């Protein structure tokens, strides 16, 4: 079945744009943004950066990224903070710089590790004084494709640009003031070079720090999983009983069980993202009320954002408080453990009785879902040098 959406996607994917390059180009310099010789010498005393920037903008995205629904979930503010290769390069350096914490011990990357799709394998993360965060760190893969553009489990940051300065000032995480941040970064010659390259002059401001970090995070696009290959090979959205080429029988069964039970209005689109925060019945009474804690409204209690499930097999532990160590525990929750909280999402309730509608998955169905979730793993993304630590 060839829907108009996929025809549009195919047209968009025919690579007419200059930015649209071959896969092998992604990790190679884009060629148009070289440093001057003196500037390159300055940065090279501290940083391992290519002479001309990596390509953070012109991915060879598969068709299903270039058309709705995925394309319409992109939260990049194209007028005020478009991604540029130089901006994302600066963002990468900031992301890995322990100098963003007051005692030079913690970088963003300390709690958002590339090998784990930019989350932390610990339930809670250690901040600059070894204090623990009160929630589990979140994966940043495809954070760009969250349609309402809000960030954190409780969506308290209304944009990614707002979010990026918060950990820096957080009392447990990095403990800095923005005044001292600006001063500290201004004392380093390599930042003068990088800010000038990204923003036309070498003024170092909080606004630019926030924008550059947001550009780097939005450039973290994971699109090279087995699932992406399957969708590309099929060439259109799979019909309910259609198999993906290259998938095993178990993976295809998993795709169907996932689509029937987990996708729908919840983990939807080809990036398995949710449009808004929801309550998935973890508790009857929440110790942490998530969105409700921010809005003060009881109807928001126990609602949390779900990041994209891309690379989910690398992002354990799970849920806002990291309560589940394994994906099997997560499936058991949906299968038999859902609690009938007053805000429990409708999809997990019987519309007539209002009782919980547990998924009651068989062991075979659970195995199939896990096999499918494994197809969302993208190790090209988790090993790509352009997202790695640039410090020598
Ligand atoms: C000490 C650990 C720690 C550090 C350091 C840290 N984070 Fe986080 N990050 C977390 C935790 C924990 C959460 C979830 C917090 C919450 O929702 O209340 C989070 C959430 C996020 C999110 C939200 C993702 C989403 O999908 O909503 C973004 C974006 C993010 N961090 C970026 C950064 C950046 C940029 C830095 C550096 C300036 C940084 N983090 C530093 C632990 C950390």
pLDDT digits (tens, 9 = 90+) for 44-75: 999 999 999 999 998 899 999 999 999 999 99
> Which of 73-77, 107-111, 305-309, 348-352 is predicted with the least confidence, judged by mean pLDDT?
348-352
Sequence-ordered strand ranges (E) for the chain: 29-34, 52-54
> Who lines ligand 1 at CB under 6 A?
100, 106, 108, 110-112, 125, 127, 133, 135, 137-138, 140, 143, 151-154, 163-164, 167-168, 173-174, 213, 217, 305, 307
Q: How far apart are CA 312 and CA 372, in angstroms?
A: 11
Q: How far apart are CA 321 and CA 346, in angstroms?
A: 23
CA of 119 to the centre of ligand 1 (A): 8
CB proximity list for 249: less than 8 A, separation 6 or greater: none
Q: How far apart are CA 94 and CA 99, in angstroms?
A: 8
Residue 5 has pLDDT above 90, yes or no: no
Neighbouring-strand partners of residue 356: 349
Give the relative orientation of helices 160-169 and 178-186 as an angle to the nearest 10 degrees.
90
Ligand 1 pocket test target in 98, 101, 104, 112 with most atoms within 8 Å of CB: 112
**Residue 367: which H helix or E strand, with range?**
helix 363-374
CB 367 within 8 A of CB 387: no
Q: How far apart are the first and last CA of the chain?
A: 52
- The mean pLDDT of the chain is 91
Ligand 1 atom with minimal separation from the 155 CA: 27
Domains of the chain as residue ranges with CATH: 31-55+79-221 (1.10.760.10), 226-378 (1.10.760.10)
| Residue-wise pLDDT tens digits, 87-138 | 999 999 999 999 999 999 999 999 999 999 999 999 999 999 999 999 999 9
Mean pLDDT of 305-316: 97
Ligand 1 atom with minimal separation from the 101 CA: 5
CA of 32 to the centre of ligand 1 (A): 32
CA distances, 175 to each of 128, 172, 341 (Å) = 7, 6, 36
| Residue 12: per-residue pLDDT | 37
Ligand 1 atom with minimal separation from the 143 CA: 26
> Which residue has its alpha carbon closest to ligand 1 atom 14?
137
> Which residue has its alpha carbon closest to ligand 1 atom 22?
152
| Residue 8: per-residue pLDDT | 39
Residue 132 φ/ψ, nearest 5 degrees: -100, 145
Residue 6 has pLDDT above 70, yes or no: no
| Residue-wise pLDDT tens digits, 265-305 | 789 899 999 989 999 999 999 999 999 999 999 999 999 99
Ligand 1 atom with minimal separation from the 126 CA: 1
Residue 234 has pLDDT above 90, yes or no: yes
- Local confidence band at 1 (pLDDT 50, 70, 90 cut-offs): very low
Residue 331 has pLDDT above 70, yes or no: yes
Residue 17 has pLDDT above 70, yes or no: no
Q: How far apart are CA 359 and CA 365, in angstroms?
A: 10
CB proximity list for 78: less than 8 A, separation 6 or greater: none
CA of 150 to the centre of ligand 1 (A): 13
**Beta-carbon count within 10 A of 230 CB:** 19
CA distances, 64 to each of 11, 69, 119, 142, 270 (Å) = 11, 8, 25, 14, 7
Q: How far apart are CA 128 and CA 7, in angstroms?
A: 51
CA of 102 to the centre of ligand 1 (A): 17
CA of 168 to the centre of ligand 1 (A): 10
Report the SS3 class of residue 205.
coil
| Residue 32: per-residue pLDDT | 54
The model's pTM is: 0.92
Q: How far apart are CA 8 and CA 24, in angstroms?
A: 25
> What is the rounded radius of gyration, in angstroms, for the C-alpha atoms of the chain?
22
Q: How far apart are CA 309 and CA 312, in angstroms?
A: 5
**Beta-carbon count within 10 A of 13 CB:** 20
Ligand 1 atom with minimal separation from the 172 CA: 1
| Residue 264: per-residue pLDDT | 78
Residue 327 has pLDDT above 60, yes or no: yes
Q: Where are the alpha helices (DSSP H) in 249-295?
A: 249-258, 291-295
CB proximity list for 206: less than 8 A, separation 6 or greater: 165, 178, 181, 182
Mean pLDDT of 9-23: 36
CA of 167 to the centre of ligand 1 (A): 6
Ligand 1 pocket test target in 173, 304, 305 with most atoms within 8 Å of CB: 173
Report the SS3 class of residue 142.
coil
Q: How far apart are CA 191 and CA 49, in angstroms?
A: 13
| Residue 49: per-residue pLDDT | 97
Q: How far apart are CA 351 and CA 361, in angstroms?
A: 20
Q: Number of C-alpha atoms within 13 angstroms, CB side, residue 274? A: 17
Residue 335 has pLDDT above 60, yes or no: yes
Ligand 1 atom with minimal separation from the 173 CA: 1
Pairing of strands 29-34, 52-54: antiparallel
CA of 65 to the centre of ligand 1 (A): 25
CA of 47 to the centre of ligand 1 (A): 24
Mean pLDDT of 318-332: 98
Residue 3 has pLDDT above 60, yes or no: no
Mean pLDDT of 304-329: 98
| Residue-wise pLDDT tens digits, 174-209 | 999 999 999 999 999 999 999 999 998 999 999 999
> Which of 28-42, 51-65, 148-162, 215-229 is predicted with the least confidence, judged by mean pLDDT?
28-42
| Residue 14: per-residue pLDDT | 35
Mean pLDDT of 9-33: 40
Q: How far apart are CA 310 and CA 271, in angstroms?
A: 6
Of 382 and 30, the structure prediction assigns the larger pLDDT to: 382
CA of 139 to the centre of ligand 1 (A): 9
| Residue 200: per-residue pLDDT | 86
Q: How far apart are CA 106 and CA 103, in angstroms?
A: 8
| Residue 388: per-residue pLDDT | 98
CA of 22 to the centre of ligand 1 (A): 32
Q: How far apart are CA 10 and CA 374, in angstroms?
A: 26
pLDDT > 70 fraction of the chain, expressed in percent and rounded:
92
């Amino acid at each position: 079945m060839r829907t108009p959406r996929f025809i549009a996607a195919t047209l968009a994917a025919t690579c007419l744009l200059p930015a649209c390059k071959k896969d092998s180009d992604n990790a190679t310099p884009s060629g148009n943004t070289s440093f001057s010789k003196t500037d390159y010498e300055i940065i090279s005393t501290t940083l391992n950066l290519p002479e001309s920037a990596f390509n953070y903008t012109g991915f060879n995205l598969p068709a299903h990224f270039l058309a709705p629904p995925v394309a319409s979930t992109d939260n990049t503010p194209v007028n005020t903070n478009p991604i540029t290769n130089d901006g994302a390069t600066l963002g990468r350096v900031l992301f890995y710089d322990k100098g963003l914490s007051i005692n030079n011990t913690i970088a963003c990357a300390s709690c958002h590790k590339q090998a784990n799709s930019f989350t932390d394998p610990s339930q809670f993360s250690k901040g600059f004084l070894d204090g623990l965060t009160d929630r589990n760190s979140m994966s940043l893969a495809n954070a760009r494709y969250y349609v309402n553009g809000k960030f954190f489990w409780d969506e308290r940051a209304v944009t990614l640009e707002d979010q990026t300065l918060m950990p820096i000032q957080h009392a447990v995480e990095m403990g800095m003031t923005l005044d001292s941040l600006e001063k500290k970064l201004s004392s380093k010659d390599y930042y003068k070079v990088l800010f000038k390259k990204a923003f036309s002059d070498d003024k170092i401001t909080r606004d630019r720090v926030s924008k550059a970090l947001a550009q780097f995070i939005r450039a973290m696009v994971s699109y090279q999983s087995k699932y992406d290959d399957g969708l590309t090979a099929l060439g259109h959205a799979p019909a309910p009983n259609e198999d993906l080429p290259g998938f095993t029988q178990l993976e295809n069964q998993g795709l169907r069980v996932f689509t029937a039970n987990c996708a729908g209005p919840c983990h939807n689109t080809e990036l398995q993202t949710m449009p808004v925060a929801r309550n998935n019945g973890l508790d009857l009474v929440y110790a942490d009320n998530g969105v409700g804690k921010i809005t003060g409204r009881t109807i928001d209690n126990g609602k949390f954002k779900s990041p994209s499930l891309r690379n989910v097999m690398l992002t354990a532990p799970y849920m806002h408080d990291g309560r589940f160590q394994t994906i099997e525990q997560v499936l058991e929750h949906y299968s038999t453990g859902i609690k009938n909280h007053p805000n429990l999402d409708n999809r997990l309730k019987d519309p007539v009785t209002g009782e919980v509608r547990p998924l009651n998955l068989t062991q075979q169905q659970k195995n199939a879902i896990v096999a499918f979730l494994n197809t969302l793993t993208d190790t090209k993304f988790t090993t790509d040098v352009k997202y790695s630590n640039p410090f020598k």
